Structure formats: structure tokens, C-alpha cells
């Protein structure tokens, strides 16, 4: 499957919002978030298109890790529309974001996946990632946008 990759735009909102809902399993109004991401030098948001339809995205945030004295990056979301999976599109998005992060001088790229997300765990392992620690989370009121 040939997908073309490009930087996201505000006009991709509807498709990105659907993909984000599929990723985190809850709806939200993500307009302000998309606007902030697109105007921040610390964020990269790349979409995959097939026949002019956005069917996947990858979102990376790059930051200074003071403890390491180096640039690090978090992969904040990688999702491919369910009917387009297992065709190499996730791989293309991941490779592009790794290329961008490497070019910037990022030393460590982190990604989280739910422990029961076998597809994501297999996918990331297949691409060379390994488990280094467990993530803990504080749920602060109103912090996640989650409604459940």
C-alpha cells in the first residue's frame, strides 16, 4: 500500500480527531490541542494519506532532558485507521518520525502502550524498541479530557 506522508494541517482536524478517538477510546474536542501542536516547534505531527484521505498520524514531542543533558522525545501517538492496518503504513510513519528525531539530535525516543495492546507491543518490538520502565500516572481533575 502506497501512502504519502506530509506535515499535518488544521484542515485535517476531522480525520485526526477520529484517529485520536480510536487511539484513546474517548471523544474530545481536540481543536485547541491541534492548533497548539501545529504552531509549536517542539511538536511534529505527520499524517499518512491514501487517495487524498488522511488514514494515519504520528505525533512526536521533543524536549530537553535535563537529567541526561540531552534532547529526548516522546512519541505521543501513532495510529492507523483500522481498515488500513497491516499494510506497512504504521512502519512508514514510525520510520519518518525516527528520521526527523535523529536529524534533530534526539538521543532517546520513548513510547507508551497499554500492557494489553499486543499489536502495538509487537509493532514497536519489531522495530527495535525494548521495555525499560513502567509509567505511573497521576489523574489530575480535568487533565486528560477524558469523560468516563
Ligand X SMILES: CC(C)(COP(=O)(O)OP(=O)(O)OC[C@H]1O[C@@H](n2cnc3c(N)ncnc32)[C@H](O)[C@@H]1OP(=O)(O)O)[C@@H](O)C(=O)NCCC(=O)NCCS
Grid coordinates of 63: 524536549
Residue nearest to ligand X (CB): 90
Determine contact, residues 59/45, Cβ cutoff 8 Å: yes
Nearest-approach distance from CB 58 to ligand X, in angstroms:
8
Q: Does 146 bind ligand X (CB under 6 A)?
A: no
Q: Does 71 bind ligand X (CB under 6 A)?
A: no
Nearest-approach distance from CB 120 to ligand X, in angstroms:
4
Nearest-approach distance from CB 40 to ligand X, in angstroms:
19
Q: Does 4 bind ligand X (CB under 6 A)?
A: no
Sign of CA dihedral 52, 57, 96, 90: negative
Nearer to ligand X among residue 43 and residue 87 (C-beta) = 87
Nearest-approach distance from CB 66 to ligand X, in angstroms:
25
Nearer to ligand X among residue 106 and residue 120 (C-beta) = 120
What is the rounded CA–CA span in Å between residue 40 and residue 114?
27
CA distances from 69 to 106, 121, 134 (A): 11, 29, 22
Q: Does 123 bind ligand X (CB under 6 A)?
A: yes
- Burial (0-12, 13-18, 19+ Cβ within 10 Å), 5: middle
Grid coordinates of 58: 504520528
Footprint of ligand X (CB under 6 A): 23, 77-80, 85-91, 113, 117-120, 122-123, 126
Amino acid at each position: 500500500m502506497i501512502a504519502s506522508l506530509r506535515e499535518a494541517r488544521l484542515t485535517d482536524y476531522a480525520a485526526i480527531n477520529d484517529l485520536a478517538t480510536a487511539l484513546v477510546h474517548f471523544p474530545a474536542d481536540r481543536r485547541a490541542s491541534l492548533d497548539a501542536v501545529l504552531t509549536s516547534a517542539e511538536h511534529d505531527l505527520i499524517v499518512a494519506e491514501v487517495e487524498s484521505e488522511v488514514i494515519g498520524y504520528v505525533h512526536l514531542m521533543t524536549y530537553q532532558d535535563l537529567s541526561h543533558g540531552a534532547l529526548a522525545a516522546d512519541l505521543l501517538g501513532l495510529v492507523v485507521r483500522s481498515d488500513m492496518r497491516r499494510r506497512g503504513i504504521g512502519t512508514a510513519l514510525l520510520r519518518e518520525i525516527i528520521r526527523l528525531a535523529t536529524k534533530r539530535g534526539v538521543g532517546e525516543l520513548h513510547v507508551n502502550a497499554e500492557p494489553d495492546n499486543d499489536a502495538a507491543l509487537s509493532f514497536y518490538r519489531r522495530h527495535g524498541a525494548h521495555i525499560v520502565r513502567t509509567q505511573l500516572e497521576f489523574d489530575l481533575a480535568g487533565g486528560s479530557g477524558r469523560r468516563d
